[in-house]
Amino acid sequence: MTEKAAAIAVKKANGRYYTPAWIVGEMLDMAGYAGPSILGRHIMENSCGDGAFLAEIVRRYCVAAAESGKSKAACRADLQEFIHGLEIDAAEHAKCVGSVSAVAAEYGVFGVDWDIGCADALAVTKYNGKMDFVVGNPPYVRVHNLSNYSGVKRFGFAQSGMTDLFIVFYEIGLAMLNEGGTLCYINPSSIFNSVAGAAARRHFVTERLLTKVADLKHYQPFKATTYTTIMTLSKRNRKDELEYYEYNAPTGRLAFMSNIRYDSAYIDGSYYFADNASLSEVKRILRRNPPRGVFDVKNGFATLCDSFFIGDLGFSDYTIPIVKASTGRVSACFFPYDKDGRPLPYEALTKKPQIKNHYERHAGALRARSLESPDVWHVFGRSQGIKDVYKHKYAINTLIRGKGDIKLTPCDPGVGVYGGLYILTEESYDVLKQMLFSPGFSAYVKALGKYKSGGYYTFSSKDLLKYLDYKHSERNGYCNEQQCILDRT
């Protein structure tokens, strides 16, 4: 491994993405670490890297100390007593100590014996119950990249799903807080709905800890393909609502949006954030259980080799028209199946010389796919969508920014769909259009919070089915006792 590759591997294993200064400032403000009240209060950054938070913390402390008339010697003693850090990587740890020393020196404070340890924060318990503030950007390391898997799995927040190290940092951070302490972290917004985050989400709400959420939405402060959120938890909190903020692109800052009650944002174990009216609607959509069977929503074909099966094939035997759900474009698809969706034998198909030739030219790519049925290499990679070819359906795309991006394409029996979803229903095109081209549908998709690059949002077949079932029952007045109670709450 080259030196550069080794450095990248260490960076990945330690989940190292550094926080920009403006976010550090916003987070310390959100936590309440500002002004003269910070004097004599303990603060910990437990995965401090090269000291993004600690540098600003030291700056704020030195300013507050000077303004309150503290001597340089008293300020040095305070920095040693009240500012704490942990970092597992020796090189980053050394950079951090250098960085905070440089900030203190700007304020004439020298020779600080910092309480910044080079250690695995998961194994450190000496700060438990003592911190007024815990802040930071904990490491994002998925379970399959963790070197210390068993050390992580012993934590209560790490029991379900494919856990991530940052979730465990919530548990150790909360343990470090004293009875009135406040924690503020920035981390992936997957914590809103991942299986791995379920125990943490429940704990934050049932213990009334969650006080502020800032959803950075499509803004990605780190050069990683992850969307992020800032969450503040306070052990002093007694309310069952939180302050909700969003990243505001024109100002490049966080903007307060609204106060949201826990029971509006916490729906069936996941967190949803939007305006209160959209959240009520989302809750009704997700909770309603209307009579099923009017709609079905499924994924289109997955050939796993579109260049072989779809496009300008040069022959027409065994082909069907196919709609690309993401664009509505129609092309030709080689469909090596009978009317019941059973694969046709290779020998039968290749009696046609052009088809034989086509297979021979692409055999390598076809065999290299990760196939659902490894022995049948000459058909689609997955069987999804195949049995519905001879039904009437509507293709629909899954990436939208608003209703203007929705592509709903009617498909006659005999037409295939790929590159998105399709809806099976007896309802008319006009009825479907009324349901989907409404502001309600885009608001619902946005509130699901599944961000994609370019300002887009996505949704799954299940999400769409829930919406259609809800809209259908709303139009037809279905309401069982439980749902009516829910609608009134």
Ligand X SMILES: C[S@@+](CC[C@H](N)C(=O)[O-])C[C@H]1O[C@@H](n2cnc3c(N)ncnc32)[C@H](O)[C@@H]1O
| Closer of 166 and 266 to ligand X (Cβ) | 166
Q: Which residue has the tokens 């007694």?
A: 238
Q: For residue 82, report the phi and psi dihedrals to the nearest 5 degrees.
A: -105, -15
Closest separation in Å from C-beta 220 to ligand X: 14
Residue 123 CB, nearest approach to ligand X (Å): 8
User: Is the Cα torsion angle 47, 50, 53, 54 positive or negative in sign?
Assistant: positive
Nearer CB in complex with ligand X: 134/286: 134
Both tokens of residue 356? 């034989």
User: CB of 446: closest distance to ligand X in angstroms?
Assistant: 27
Residue number with CB closer to ligand X (128 or 259): 128
Provide, rounded to whole angstroms, the least separation between the CB of residue 314 and ligand X: 52
Burial of 17 by CB count in 10 Å (0-12 exposed, 13-18 middle, 19+ buried)? middle
**Shortest approach of ligand X to residue 147 CB, angstroms?**
9
Cα–Cα distance, 342 to 344 (Å, whole number): 6
CB under 8 Å to 486, separation ≥6 — which residues? 283, 284, 287, 288
Q: Which residue, 58 or 395, is less far from ligand X as judged by CB?
A: 58
Q: Which is nearer to ligand X, 221 or 336 (CB)?
A: 221
- Taking the complex as a whole, the smallest distance from the CB of residue 83 to ligand X amounts, in Å, to 14
* Buried/exposed code over 348-367 (b: 16+ C-beta within 10 A; e: otherwise): ebbeeeebeebbeeeeeebe
Angle at 208 between CA 206 and CA 210, to 5 degrees: 110
With CA atoms as reference, report the closest residue to 231 among 211, 203, 259, 256: 211
Q: Please state, in angstroms and rounded to a whole number, the distance separating the CA atoms of residues 385 and 299.
A: 6
Distance CA 468, CA 436 (A): 8
- Interacting residues toward ligand X by CB under 6 A: 14-19, 45, 47-49, 52-53, 86-89, 92, 120-122, 136-137, 139
Give dist(CA 359, CA 309) in Å, integer: 10
In the complex, the smallest distance separating the C-beta of residue 128 from ligand X, rounded to whole angstroms, is 15
Residue closer to ligand X (CB basis): 49 or 381: 49
For residues 24 and 323, which CB has a smaller minimum distance to ligand X in the complex?
Answer: 24
- In the bound state with ligand X, the residue whose beta carbon lies nearer, of 48 and 400, is 48
Task: Show the DSSP H helices in 310-436 as ranges.
Answer: 346-349, 353-367, 429-436
- Write the single-letter amino acid at 397: N
**Residue number of the CB atom closest to ligand X:** 49
Residue 168 CB, shortest distance to ligand X, in Å, is 9
What CA–CA distance (Å, rounded) separates 440 from 366? 42
